[in-house]
Amino acid sequence: MSRPTVLLPGPMNETVLAGTAEHFDVIRLWESDDPDAVLAERAQDIAAVATGGTTIDGAFLDRLPSLRLVASFGVGYDKIDAQAAAERGVIVTNTPGVLDDEVADTALGLLLMTARELPQAERHLRAGAWTERAYPLTKATLNGRTMGILGLGRIGEAIAKRAEAFGISVAYHNRHRKDVAYRYYPTLPELAAAVDILMIVIPGGDETRHLVDAEVLKALGADGILINVARGTVVDEEALVEALRSRTILSAGLDVFENEPEVHPGLLELDNAVLLPHVGSATIPTRNAMGQLVVDNLTHYFTHGTPLTPVHESADLVRNLPA
């Protein structure tokens, strides 16, 4: 019996490469001199795609008439048009759960770095300036602060637990209230006005693009700290640069940016911004666990008929799969 054919449009984690090679007929498209010719020749064979960042839209999906599953490496899947996939009967999966703690740890680390100016203090030491003068006292402390979490999902709840351990009060805004002890605010501006740390943990995409804008930043206020470990598109970067320059907010810690890997030059110039190169889940154990979940989604689907972690746009498709 022939093995299902899986397309890998671009380079992937070694766990994905090894796992797909073991179970499937794999097309490593990025290694081809003529990817379009390969797709045209093998289009009828391709039953699944495993991707770590390739844009997959309706036009791409239409080139693969036998496609049944897109397995995405990562929690966020904003480069995949999951609704267009659902309309074509294609299930999309992601990798939730296995990276929650790693991203939550990064979020709290970034908050500490930002509030206490730890990167700036280290640069002060490395430049030899400590022998001449002590690093200035920082304006911010975490004591007595309230964190507003925009997006209280798995990662948001993991961040909330860590924040509580630091003595930080927690509030949140979601589209819908959850059965949790944290205070709920029905709108984002209301949340921003009530807190002095705004932690962003919502998915990217058109629905959330520039959700954090000049109005929200003004509501956060002059003592406010913005932390983003979600997607750069959620924040209006022009508005953020202006808010940081004018001290409308105190500081920002960012692990994600609108046009990665390019970073807004205004952010690079600011001393009240701490910037990381999208490393929230970037440890070998976590990335391997994410890769294994990609493989497990593929193998479970083709062995048992159902994926393990479908995204919400695929819910109806999964419910209607044969028992």
Kindly give, in sequence order, each residue whose CB lies less than 8 Å from that of residue 88, ignoring residues fewer than 6 positions away.
58, 61, 62, 67
Cα 57 to chain centroid, rounded: 19
Look up 231 and say whether it is catalytic: yes
Look up 31 and say whether it is catalytic: no
User: For the stretch 68-93, what's the b/e string if a residue is b when 16 or more beta carbons lie within 10 angstroms of its beta carbon?
Assistant: bbbbbbbbbbbbbbbebbbebebbbb
Alpha-carbon distance of 256 to 27, in angstroms, equals 30
Query: Long-range contact list for 181-189, CB < 8 A, 24+ apart?
Result: 182/149, 182/152, 185/148, 188/150, 188/212, 188/216, 189/215, 189/216, 189/219
Amino acid at 135: Y
Kindly give, in sequence order, each residue whose CB lies less than 8 Å from that of residue 296, ignoring residues fewer than 6 positions away.
308
Alpha-carbon distance of 214 to 11, in angstroms, equals 38
**List 145, 231, 264, 287, catalytic entry:** 231
**List 63, 260, 269, 312, catalytic entry:** 260
Taking Cα atoms as reference points, which of 251, 264, 220 lies closest to residue 139?
251
Report how far apart the first and last C-alpha atoms of the chain are (Å, whole number).
Answer: 22
Which sequence positions are flagged as catalytic?
Answer: 231, 260, 278
